[in-house]
Amino acid sequence: MTTSTVAPQIVRFAEGVRAALADLPAEEVDDLTEGLEADLAESLAEDLRRTLPDPVAYAAELRLAAGLPARAPSTKRGLLRGLPDAWQQTREAVDIAVRRTPVLAGAVDLAGSLRPVWWIVRAWLATWLLAAFFGMEDGYWFEGVWWLVLVGLVVVSAQWGRGRWSFPGLRAVLVVGNVVAVAALVPVLSAVDARSTDTVYVEGGYGEPDLTGVYLNGVPVTNIFGFDADGKPLREVQLFDQDGNPLATAVSGADGCLDADCEKTGLWVPSALRNGTVAWNVFPMRMVEDEMDVNGGLRAVPGAEPQDRVSPYKRVPALVTTEKVAKPND
Amino acid sequence: MDATQLLKGVLDVAVLAVVEDEDGYGYDVVRRLRAAGLEEVGDASVYGTLRRLYSAGALTSYVVPSEEGPHRKYYGINAQGRATLELQRKVWAEFSATMNALLSSSSQPGEAA
């Protein structure tokens, strides 16, 4: 070579030739055009009057001499059959363009080595969506048996990703599934995030979340039912701990099952105090039916009224109070 | 008669003959063919032929990196290529002898007349 770099018109010409060969397998294109720039540069340096030919005609001569089929016209074969061809050609053209750019090629290689991560992510996503359908998701994870489902789907996802367990039409299933998974990933992640830290539900000015929780033997307490000395249920009892902190079981935006079968879910409703603030430590706490808003968060169903929660006991045994014990002694 | 049409049929054996002497890269082979008198030969036809002969197993190939610019792809003949070349030499010798005889005999009646 007489020059240290390739002239721009040669680079453009070589790109045109490769584009015209883009329907061939990438390996074939590489083999056919490897050294093309060097050959052209030398040829032009030797004959200064020479001009570069049409890259498409050049490519046609190249493939004819190489014994390769002429470029298949895809547009004459109808839209439905032409589209996959066009997609394939676009992919190959992009592949070739990417491979010529070291930074992009490196990024694509890295992404390729991270494919197993995606196989696991999509399996988690499918499990989460299924579990959420039955209301059995728990934050980013699930309840009980859904872990087995996750393990099963990870195995299936990885086998498909590695090209095992193939069946006719699997490729189409994977393409559609991946598109759906990518489209669903962000909404699901933000919905999970919104449920754990949601501050959207402020209807009636319910205020900032109170992150205090109450636990019994490690299990979260969601509601508290108080009874008076006679064993009768109490309403609207304000509870505090030994330091005067409000004893709150729920936070703003937290939800739970509204009915016994969990067919409906509801948001916990705090009580309003006369000083203008809201209190999350007033029990039994009531619940209002909720629904998913457009952002994937939860909100109260418009017009729904807060409902009392069903008490585990209608009545509990009365106390032997000091007052009653004292009476016989009088 | 157009010489380029004739060339298409014999480009394989011409390329094999050129790389039999010495390994060469694409344009090097073009230059040697032109120097031998095949001035009409097209670059792309030669590159495509090299690729096809390589695919058919008649040539070896290796890339020589260059620090100054794009790397070069060299082709060399192997045993199968040599066998092919020998066979095609015989075919060409017979074919050209036949054609020479045909063309010279068909011109004789005109001379005899």
Domain ranges of chain A: 8-112, 115-197, 200-330
Strands (E), chain A: 137-138, 141-142, 215-216, 219-220, 237-238, 255-257, 265-269, 271-272, 278-279, 282-283, 286-292, 298-300
Determine contact: A1 vs chain B, CB below 8 A.
yes
B63: which strand partners?
Answer: B73
Whole-angstrom distance, CA of residue A128 vs CA of residue A134: 10
Reported ipTM: the value is 0.77
B43, B45, B66 member nearest A43 (Cβ): B43
**Which of these ranges, A37-46, A67-76, A197-206, A287-296, has the smallest mean pLDDT?**
A197-206
Whole-angstrom distance, CA of residue A322 vs CA of residue A122: 64
Higher per-residue confidence, A62 vs B65: A62
For A12-73, the DSSP string reads HHHHHHHHHTTTS-HHHHHHHHTTHHHHHHHHHHH-TT-----HHHHHHHHHHHTTPPPPPP
The rounded percent of chain A whose pLDDT value lies above 90 is 8
- Check residue A246 and report its DSSP letter: B
Residue A262 parent element (H or E): none
**Which of these ranges, A15-29, A86-100, A160-174, has the smallest mean pLDDT?**
A86-100
Burial of A124: CB neighbours in 10 Å, binned 0-12, 13-18, 19+? buried
Contact indicator for A212, A246 with CB cutoff of 8 Å? yes
Check CB contact under 8 Å for A65 and B63.
no
Determine contact: A24 vs chain B, CB below 8 A.
no
In this predicted model, what pLDDT tens digit does every residue of A256-309 receive, in sequence order?
788 877 778 888 888 888 888 888 889 998 888 888 777 777 788 888 888 888
Structure tokens at A233: 């249920």
**CATH of segment(s) B3-112:** 1.10.10.10
Strands A219-220 and A237-238 turn out to be unpaired
Spell out which residues of chain A touch residue B9, defining contact as CB-CB under 8 Å.
Answer: none
Strands B72-77 and B59-64 turn out to be antiparallel
Q: How far is CA A206 from the centre of its chain?
A: 29
Check CB contact under 8 Å for A35 and B73.
yes
